[in-house]
Structure 1
């Protein structure tokens, strides 16, 4: 029988690795983030957990043995999806591991903007004691969650602790607990004028690229805050900058950008009504544990039993 091989292109601890070895004791398992560790094994790996851009050049239709790819991120837009689909590679994402840390970041941004924490931090650096026209609060306001998945649901749950009205948007329009009103993408411009906070938690797909631009920002309240932790390309960044400069919206909390790292010349850096985080909203001490224990191990058991890994299985047509 030919050697069966798994690549985990991440640095994981021995405890997590042991859980995997117990399931596939006869497999060769390659572990480590450095390309020098796994690059000579990519072409004949049956399973890869954690995609790296360097793998693009190694895997092709003629030589790849890859049957299943488990990504280490929720987003799949950076993958060579057409090639992987043509090779009949099953893809599962890390969607779901981010619900706690990203919902925490969302509320950190919402509260920071509302209570002007970012303004006070700047004043602290200059030893300035000034009220800065503090007058807003988050309680009993309306929040619109554009993309109600795991992150959106956890965000809605937290919003209820603040007595907020929660409006949600998802493709199916299916109702969810903690969401007062659910809409479909066709209703985007119905939601926006109602919201004090607009939170984007969408994946990047051909349908969501450039979804937020001048028209959408003009539809929002001038007192509303815009939060994006989805993907930068969902927003027309120049049009967001224009909306902020012209006070069409009150401010923005941004974790993702069209170009990352955000170029130093971007006006966003200097805007007093913007909080920037460097695409870290999903970072957490429990990340690897959740990917392996909650997603990869159950999917691995299914795969070994001849079943399709079902947790977070990518729909190539939808792009998520």
Structure 2
């Protein structure tokens, strides 16, 4: 088989695959501009997904399987891929550890007002008088919208703080580490119980603009909203309106409708917003975990198995 990678793969990983699978021809490239000369004969393509176009899929006469080395696949040319019957798998689940750590860490930072004490240290001020505003996260209720691998890991860590965990998923079926599960249509009925609302929604036609003003109207004035899924799940104006009207207490945002966020965006200076630049999933373990999934699937594919890990439903886009 001819296996082409448009994603930059470290040399030690390249050496592992060429030594372990000597019957396959590997072409490791640093970008699609280099890889496209081999795509016509590729049986398998490794990519981060955003470098694929309809034209490239048309050129890929032998392509049978695309392994996306990320979880986000919303920029891929699904119709062209579906038309040719190409299997698509992704790296869903590899972000669960860093993203769950991010969620708990950021909630602790906001509730314990860490930013204030860091600023006080830098200015040599003893800010003990500010302790009245400190909050705990233990024994609270967390609603997690998107109860997949990441959502379940967030719920697992939340259990260490004795939280009640409520999940929302497409099916609403029982999931590990959740006390209760609901479908999206039931969300408004449970938001009033939440101290923390965490969104890990992907970007699909069903999830774009998912959170609306009516949802924030149902939340507690003391609630914290955290979005680390996709920025298009909620409009910036909706979040700002909810904060300014006191419908929620704070927003923690790692993802945005437009990235990088424009320098004049009101989020930058909003006193009730804590922002990070889409780094919740960042980890040195990212690529090794993704390549582990690829290798597991490669062995399945070689043996003729038809069900691969993280196979994408091309109609749903996830």
* TM-score band w.r.t. shorter chain: over 0.9
Secondary structure of the residue aligned to 1:61 is helix
2:46 aligned with 1:84, yes or no?
no
Q: Which residue of 1 aligns with 2:231?
A: 232
Equivalent pair of 2:113/2:134 in contact (CA under 8 Å): no
Equivalent pair of 1:101/1:283 in contact (CA under 8 Å): yes
Equivalent pair of 1:118/1:275 in contact (CA under 8 Å): no
* Separation in 2, partners of 1:125, 1:245: 29
* Separation in 1, partners of 2:147, 2:54: 35
* Separation in 2, partners of 1:181, 1:33: 45
2:302 aligned with 1:304, yes or no?
yes
Q: TM-score, normalised by structure 2?
A: 0.92
Residues paired across the two proteins, number: 316
Q: TM-score, normalised by structure 1?
A: 0.92
Provide runs of 4+ in structure 1 moved above 4 Å. Answer: 122-129
Equivalent pair of 1:31/1:37 in contact (CA under 8 Å): no
Equivalent pair of 1:30/1:37 in contact (CA under 8 Å): no
List alignment gaps of at least 5 residues for structure 2.
none
Q: Which residue of 2 aligns with 1:108?
A: 105
After TM superposition, list the pairs within 5 Å mapping 1:26-105 onto structure 2: 26-56=23-53, 58-61=55-58, 63-105=60-102
Aligned-residue offset at 1:279: 0.9
Equivalent pair of 2:68/2:90 in contact (CA under 8 Å): yes
Q: Per-residue CA shift, 1:107-158, capped at 9, x if unaligned?
A: 1111111111133344455555444442311110100011111111111111
Sort the Cα spacing of 1:25 and 1:240 in 2 relative to 1 into closer, same or farther, 3 A.
same
Sort the Cα spacing of 1:36 and 1:317 in 2 relative to 1 into closer, same or farther, 3 A.
closer
Aligned-residue offset at 1:43: 3.1
Equivalent pair of 1:146/1:169 in contact (CA under 8 Å): yes
RMSD: 1.9
Q: Per-residue CA shift, 1:210-247, capped at 9, x if unaligned?
A: 00121111111110000111100011121111112222
Mean alpha-carbon deviation: is it higher for 276-285 or for 127-136? 127-136
Sort the Cα spacing of 1:309 and 1:16 in 2 relative to 1 into closer, same or farther, 3 A.
farther
Equivalent pair of 2:53/2:77 in contact (CA under 8 Å): yes
Secondary structure of the residue aligned to 2:203 is coil
Aligned-residue offset at 1:89: 1.2
* Separation in 2, partners of 1:125, 1:10: 41
Equivalent pair of 1:8/1:32 in contact (CA under 8 Å): yes
* Separation in 1, partners of 2:123, 2:8: 41
Aligned-residue offset at 1:36: 4.4
